[in-house]
Structure 1
Amino acid sequence: MSETLPALHEVESAIRSLGLAIGASELHGSVCGWLAGGGEAGPGWLTQVMLDEAIPAPTPGSELDRLLRGSADQLEDRGFGFTLLLPADDASLAVRSGALFDWCRGFVGGLGLAAGDKSPPSEEGREALKDLAKLAAATAQDDGDDEDEAALAEIEEFVRVAVLLLHGDCAMGPRHRGRLN
């Protein structure tokens, strides 16, 4: 049975209890980037993702452990069930778009940490990564209308597909090539 992601508020609470200077959406992006780049899902993942040796390893079954396991399961899901850990639709457009941009920032950083100078992604993957980096640099707008809501939904779907593409290029591709050799 695959692990499900913990709720956003559960991850926020776990982050606060550790005194980490990151939001739940950005941490989820970092974890997904780490995994998509081929990073290990071992006990030291949080210290590697946060670049801080002083952070204790999440205990098995904790919110942060479930975040890692759920993210890994979703990225490997053949049914493309991958989701982003973002605020609910009833949050303001500014909060949701800001969290999405934070998520992208975390993803780009996590991917860079894990992938380093390993085999580069495909041409499509490189284009997707450039677009994710642009989103990571974006800032949320204060308000919006139905057009902005629709645009945010399209951007979320683009991010989801781009992440799956990069995961295939950087993590799954090398793994499968290694099995063939």
Structure 2
Amino acid sequence: MPDLPTPEDIDEASRALQLGASVAELHGGLCGWLAGGGEDTAAWPARVLADPGLPAPAPGSALDGLRRATVAQLGDGEFSFELLLGDDDLPLRQRAQALFDWCRSFLGGFGLAAGAQPPLSEEGAEALQDLARLAGASVQEIDEDDEDESALSELEEFVRVAVLLLHGDCVLGPRHRRSLN
């Protein structure tokens, strides 16, 4: 399975293409696009950022590697999918904001790919609503203590599982049904 590129490499590649999005926003949007059934395409930034004028990342670049690794993780039966929010050494407040930004971008990419009536299970619909609540959240006072660190880790795990559930509803479920017919 290909490794996710480093946040630094993605940030540098994003700036080179003048994408105007953070690492968390790019990964969230890409994950939303793919989880909603969007096409795995080299020109993913144009689709995910809804700007047809954006160039496709060069083959082998960090942004191309981000797409390839994300596709592999989402399709992996071992649940290896992970969120890419940026540098783990950032203060808790910035990491929490990155999670909310990731969720906002995920919803945008998901909506573009899945449309207004995605084929969601009851659990998937609930997960999507929860992601929307996180996307609308803002960072309040944070004490930077173990309790807040633990709460952020739990939110990240919830988001990770919610994405896998939505991907299952919109991509794996329909694919499985087609193979049975």
TM-score by length of 2: 0.95
User: Does 2:50 correspond to 1:73?
Assistant: no
Deviation at 1:88, TM superposition (A): 3.8
Quickly say closer, same or farther: Cα 1:78–1:164, change in 2 above 3 A.
Answer: same
Deviation string 1:26-66 (CA, Å, 9 cap, x unpaired) is: 11000001000111112332211111111111111111110
Structure 2 counterpart of 1:84: 83
Q: Which segments of structure 1 move beyond 6 Å, counting only runs of 4 or more? A: none
Deviation at 1:119, TM superposition (A): 4.1
The total of aligned residue pairs comes to 180
Structure 2 counterpart of 1:176: 176
Deviation string 1:117-171 (CA, Å, 9 cap, x unpaired) is: 4542100000000000111111123532221111101000000000000000011
Deviation at 1:103, TM superposition (A): 0.7
CA distance in 2, matches of 1:141, 1:92: 14
Structure 1 counterpart of 2:120: 121
CA distance in 1, matches of 2:114, 2:128: 12
Higher mean displacement: 12-21 or 22-31: 12-21
Structure 2 counterpart of 1:140: 139
Structure 2 counterpart of 1:31: 30
RMSD between aligned alpha carbons? 1.3
Deviation at 1:19, TM superposition (A): 1.3
Deviation at 1:4, TM superposition (A): 1.3
Letter in 2 for 1:126: A
Deviation at 1:112, TM superposition (A): 0.6
Higher mean displacement: 52-61 or 158-167: 52-61
TM-score by length of 1: 0.95
Letter in 1 for 2:10: V
Deviation string 1:81-102 (CA, Å, 9 cap, x unpaired) is: 1100023443101110011111
Report matched runs for 1:81-120 at 5 Å.
81-117=80-116, 119-120=118-119
CA distance in 2, matches of 1:85, 1:54: 25
CA distance in 1, matches of 2:69, 2:140: 30
Structure 1 counterpart of 2:58: 59
Segments of 5+ residues of structure 1 without an aligned counterpart are none
